[in-house]
Amino acid sequence: MTGDAVIKVEDLHTGFGDHLVHDGLNLEVRKGEVLGVVGGSGTGKSVLLHCIIGLKKPWSGCIEVLGQRVLDLEPPERSALEARWGVLFQDGALFSSLTVAQNIQVPLKEHLNLNQRLMDEIAMIKIGLVGLPPEAGRLYPAELSGGMRKRAGLARALALDPEILFLDEPTSGLDPIGAARFDALIGRLRKTLDFTVFMVTHDLDSLNAICDRIAVLADKRVVVIGDMQQMLNERHPWVLEYFHGPRARSAGLLKPGR
């Protein structure tokens, strides 16, 4: 395996009550790649994301992000590490009492000491980067459409120019055109801002469009990880059904007649 691992998950066990979600899960995310995590409902994709960013404590195992063990960090070190990643939650998770521009400034205020003018300017740049019109900065989350909320959430995740971007189902709830635009946006931003992406998704189109590698969660662990060609050659029953089903066909993954 080449390339530095920015996220390393080793022998992870998590669960709720007496229900085991991950049983000895291992995963490595390389620097600069876009990793798509797929799996059936309830296989623990979001739980894995929550473990890595520290919202859920696993039962046992080791998680390293950017060379630091997230589970053993003291609060100040944690906060410093959190400034180096950005998270986009499913529906944006914008603070509803703040405008979009203020939402973007929350991490700036929390981690840095910048003057208000500079923060306003940086917020405007981020708003432009994610493809929102300048007027959107003054709007409240309730006044935005679903697609705009995701973009605003992405702008907030990008506020500190993170090294890793976590995306939780970024295209769910968007129409196909909006989803394709969002995929293109992530691809373009990655070229400019040079970050690593960890993306939980169901969307075969975005897996095909922007992911360098795909990790499949099934049977409580990562059963296979690799590029799209490897997925198509894999014989695991779930992978077979997922990447060879009718939806995969319509996403253009398979050549007709195959």
Q: How far is the CB of 146 from other proteins (least distance, A)?
A: 12
Write the interaction track for other proteins spanning residues 129-168; mark x where CB under 8 A is met and - where it is not: x----xx-xx---x---------------x-xx-------
**Residue nearer to other proteins on the CB measure, 67 or 237:** 67
Sheet with 221-226, strands from edge to edge, namely 85-88, 164-168, 196-200, 34-39, 213-218, 221-226
**Residue nearer to other proteins on the CB measure, 23 or 91:** 91
Q: Which of 240, 246, 213 is nearest to 228 (CA)?
A: 213
Type of residue numbered 191: K
**Residue nearer to other proteins on the CB measure, 160 or 248:** 160
CA 55 to chain centre: 14
Q: Which of residues 60-99 bind other proteins (CB under 8 A)?
A: 64, 66-68, 96
Q: Which stretch binds other proteins (CB under 8 A): 185-193, 205-213, 214-222, 246-254?
A: 185-193
**Residue nearer to other proteins on the CB measure, 5 or 254:** 5
Cβ contact 60:36 at 8 Å: no
Q: How far is the CB of 204 from other proteins (least distance, A)?
A: 28
Q: Is 132 left (phi over 0), alpha (psi -120 to 50) or beta?
A: beta
Q: Which two tokens stand for residue 70?
A: 């997230």
Q: Which of residues 189-208 bind other proteins (CB under 8 A)?
A: 191-194
Q: How far is the CB of 192 from other proteins (least distance, A)?
A: 5
3-state SS, residue 37: strand
Q: How far is CA 2 from each of CA 33, 89, 150, rounded to the nearest angstrom?
A: 12, 30, 33
Q: How far is the CB of 187 from other proteins (least distance, A)?
A: 13
| Residue 172 to residue 41: CA distance in whole angstroms | 13
Q: How far is the CB of 46 from other proteins (least distance, A)?
A: 19
SS (H, E, C) 151-199: HHHHHHHCCCCCCEEEEECCCCCCCHHHHHHHHHHHHHHHHHHCCEEEE
Q: Which of residues 97-126 bind other proteins (CB under 8 A)?
A: 101, 108, 112-115, 118, 120-122, 124-126
Q: Which residues bind other proteins (CB under 8 A)?
A: 4, 64, 66-68, 96, 101, 108, 112-115, 118, 120-122, 124-129, 134-135, 137-138, 142, 158, 160-161, 191-194
